[in-house]
Amino acid sequence: MSSRTRLRVSLLELPLYANTLPLASGYLQAYALQDPEIAAGCDFTVYAPMAQTPVPELVAALLAQDADVYGMSCYLWNMRRIKEVLDELVRHRPDACFVLGGPQVMNHAAEYVAPELENVLVCNAEGERPFQALLVELLAARGRAAVPDFQRVPGMSFWSAGELLTTEKPARITDLDEIPSPFAAGLFDGGEYTFAVVETNRGCPYSCSYCYWGAATNDKVHRWELDRVKDDLTWISEHGVESVFVADANWGALPRDVELTRHLVEGKRRTGYPMMIAIQAAKNRPDRVTEITEILVDGGLLTSQPVSLQTLSPQTLEIVQRANIKESTYVELQLKLHEKQISSYTELIWPLPGETLKSFQAGIAKVCRTGADAVVAYPQLLLRNTPMYGTREALGIETVRVDDPVAEADVVVATKWVTRDDFQAGAWFYYAVISLYNARSGFHVARELDRSGVCSYEDFLVRAADHYRRRTDTEICAFFDESVRGLGNYDLNNIGKVLHMVLHSHRAEMDTLLEDFLREQGWLADPALRAVFELDLVARPYVYREAVSEPAVALSQVRIVKRDRYTLVVDLPETAVESLADAGFVEAGDSGRFVVDHRGRRKMPYPRHRSLEHNAAYCQAMMNRLRDILPTWRAAAVRDRVLDAS
């Protein structure tokens, strides 16, 4: 350690987004500074650039801080980058002390720290108490001109003389007000932040085996005092933070969450910030969650509500210890949001233990049948320190680590119930869901086939996925093939790229791909089904605000009477009108001539100068708020009724 008087402490966070408020570092610093010796003997700096920042740039900035102690927050999205930075810092600063914390490294010190690195510690617990104790010991050791005794520090693992030692974990903090507010302490003053994570409580009453949240905190939910939380949220509003993620496991579980939601909206009305909120909705409180969502939507803070089903398989729910969360609750929430015209998206995970290819497909079909706005199926990631991680062999879990220079994500590609071939078939099935259901390419025809009993949603999507696998001669299906083989769906922008292709760059190709598929099945020989297919061609949304185009295939049942920049005037046969009415887009009994307005809400023009990655991120966000891009339908006015195609 350095011989200078004061201890220099550097805290590193590598978030996913630029200008993210470093909340974890703020908690560590605020808690540590309560100790008079630390307040008198330590100087703190916080460094929180994006995780994608090049290693040389990160190392240079951290070396320039010339710290005696480096604390690093480790998560799966930044772990490879953290490890590279750590290796370089240890090489340049062998006299410094390094401490790693976070769910990715807890209880895994032997994997990340070599035995010869006796100055690198791993925190195995909630960070505030161990980190404070570490600084106290480092200051005391400096005072007595001795080597620090890390066995005095609770909740740590470290190497000593070739042996990995682990100290007893401290108790969890039950009175969260024991942690001072870093906002009130002024620790974030002077920073320019566009994104912030906030906590109003800690803990989760559930114990889903794939999730670290409940596994680590499956006890009483502990909360910060209400006025303190309000003051923190006021700081965020008054300092112009644009986006906020409320990192409570179940927002809406507590009655006070409604009051806090109103406080957020009040701040937005007063200052203009924050501009957007993301929440993890309570699992069994549909009425309260709906009330909160309404408040946020009316206040302009929320455009869509996630409905986190994860699976509809009873067997899977039992295996992953999620059976105490009621499926009926999700269905009720879905219906309430639908009634209030609030966009939502249903979240699933593929493949959870116990889920089979058939149950996954049947679950998605059931979600489609309930009229969900969109379905998002995330890849299953095997997370450290979860119950599932400890039982991975018994569950037959096989993983592949994503080829990513920054993240350290292990994607589950097989279980006892799913082979690798099944896993890929499920991925192909989901690409059919994205393109045909979410993107609305085959929305009405699939609905009509299911309603009439000709072909269920499940069978329709299975057949479409099979057709896609045989059509890699098209650029759309070639992209699907590449994504399935390379685990491309790990990247959320992958979904956005599908939307970009299907609704914009390869729109015409999607028209012909769908026609080929439906003709192959023999369905287009039926004039009524042909009419509903052509309805899909004119009803499919545009993800950008752009001029509408006529379909790339010939129309025989639907007639385009007029086309303006953003609108079509169309004559629809009776079958197509009935399908629209059944889906709630028009009133039953409306006539067959309609104006289809594709302007949508909150759509932006296509930014040609932007990268595909940027545009894909936009498209992915728009899928989650699908109602903002869907066209509106209205019965044609008198002036439109006299139009003639000639």
Q: Which range (57-71, 204-218, 431-445) has the least confidence?
A: 204-218
- CA within 13 Å, CB half, 241: 29
191-513 shares the fold of 7-177: no
CATH architecture, range 191-513? Alpha-Beta Horseshoe (3.80)
pLDDT at 1: 46
User: Which CATH number fits the domain 7-177, given the four candidates 3.40.50.300, 3.40.50.280, 2.140.10.10, 3.30.1490.20?
Assistant: 3.40.50.280
Q: Is the pLDDT of residue 425 over 60?
A: yes
CB 593 within 8 A of CB 571: yes
639 confidence band (pLDDT: 50, 70, 90): low
Instruction: Show Cβ contacts of residue 240 under 8 Å, excluding neighbours closer than 6 positions.
Output: 271, 272, 273
Taking Cα atoms as reference points, which of 198, 182, 179, 200 lies closest to residue 190? 182
DSSP tally for the chain: helices H, then strands E: 24, 21
Q: Treating both helix axes as pointing N-terminal to C-terminal, what angle do 256-271 and 286-298 enclose, rounded to 10 degrees?
A: 10
Q: Per-residue confidence at 308, pLDDT binned at 50, 70, 90?
A: confident
The string of pLDDT tens digits covering residues 254-271 is 999 999 999 999 999 999
306 against 52, higher pLDDT:
52
| Cα–Cα–Cα angle for 325, 330, 336, rounded to 5 degrees | 145
- What whole-number percentage of the chain has pLDDT above 90? 80
Nearest to residue 303, comparing CAs of 542, 598, 628, 618? 628
Question: What beta strand segments (E) does 270-369 contain?
Answer: 276-281, 304-310, 343-350
Do 217 and 204 meet the contact criterion of CB atoms below 8 Å apart? yes
* Dihedral over alpha carbons 401, 406, 407, 411 (to 10 degrees): -30
| Arithmetic mean of pLDDT over the chain | 93
In the prediction, which pLDDT does 343 show?
85
Q: How far apart are CA 33 and CA 11, in angstroms?
A: 14
pLDDT average, residue stretch 245-256: 93
Parse the chain into domains and list their residue ranges. 7-177, 191-513
Could you tell me which of 217, 273, 216, 266 has the C-alpha nearest to residue 242? 273
Residue 646, pLDDT above cutoff 60:
no
> pLDDT at residue 640 above 80?
no
pLDDT tens for each residue of 93-119: 999 999 999 999 999 999 999 999 999
What is the per-residue pLDDT across 345-391, written as a single tens digit (0 to 9) for each?
999 999 999 999 999 999 999 999 988 899 999 999 999 999 999 99
155-212 pLDDT, tens per residue? 999 999 999 999 999 999 999 999 999 999 999 999 999 999 999 999 888 889 999 8
Q: What angle do CA 521, 524, 528 make, to 5 degrees?
A: 130
Is residue 143 within 8 Å of 17, Cβ to Cβ?
A: no
Q: What's the predicted TM-score (pTM) here?
A: 0.92
266, 311 contact by CB (below 8 A) = no
